[in-house]
Copies of this chain bind each other. A is one copy, B any other.
């Protein structure tokens, strides 16, 4: 592992906490609904959801470091802004899920692009963003197929998940990559 155990734990914790906050927004707004009550719940989420997001965050951070040397320079403000940006987009998806799909998707895609342009990071960050944009929605499609959860009818046109979901995950992957860089720079 390129990331130390403590750094992986920090990424896991940030991802799990962020997943809980974002998912609570989706559940409260009605964007998504859990269909299976067999697992314990934490706040609004089935226990496995924050765990999966935490694991994905740590994995994307590790992926980032394997793709090339991280950028130097630690700045807590960049890390806070990166986390806030992806949580803001997450909250916007909860607020616009029942709006027409066209402008809602355009908004999420363009916000994700703004986050990526703001964070920079070149090809490694882009690969992390694309990996998240592919793997995340695929995982959620499986979750929907397993009837563990569902998206509202106004936001399920991408094989059962929302059309804007890849863009949300893209921003997530970009942010996870940046956080990994910051953790290494802080050593």
CA distance A24 to B109 in the complex (A): 15
How many identical chains are in the complex? Answer: 3
A106 in the interface (beta carbon within 8 A): yes
Q: Please, which residue of chain B has its CB at the minimum distance from the CB of A114? A: B84
Question: Given contacts A25-B100, A25-B103, A29-B100, are A114 and B85 in contact (CB under 8 A)?
Answer: yes
A77 touches B25 (CB 8 A): no
- Spell out A's residues near B (CB within 8 Å): 21-22, 24-26, 28-30, 44, 77-78, 80-81, 84-85, 87-88, 90-92, 94-96, 99-104, 106-107, 109-111, 113-114, 117-118, 120
Please give, as numbers and ranges, the residues of chain B lying within 8 Å of A26 by CB-CB distance: 103
Question: Contacts A84-B117, A87-B110 given; 16 further ones with Cβ under 8 A?
Answer: A21-B106, A24-B102, A24-B103, A25-B106, A26-B103, A28-B101, A29-B99, A29-B102, A84-B113, A85-B110, A88-B114, A91-B110, A94-B100, A94-B102, A95-B99, A95-B104
Bound-state Cα–Cα, A23 to B25, Å: 26
Asked if B107 contacts A92 (CB within 8 A), the reply is yes
**Shortest CB distance A126–B (Å):** 11
Partner of A88, one of B88, B94, B111, B120: B111
Query: Is B22 a contact partner of A113 (Cβ separation < 8 A)?
Result: no
Known contacts A96-B95, A107-B92; is A114 also within 8 Å of B29 by CB? no
**A to B CB contacts below 8 Å, 30 in the list:** A21-B106, A25-B106, A26-B103, A28-B101, A28-B103, A29-B100, A29-B103, A30-B100, A44-B102, A77-B120, A78-B117, A80-B113, A80-B117, A81-B114, A81-B117, A84-B110, A84-B114, A84-B117, A88-B106, A88-B107, A88-B110, A91-B103, A91-B107, A91-B110, A94-B100, A94-B103, A94-B106, A95-B96, A95-B99, A95-B104
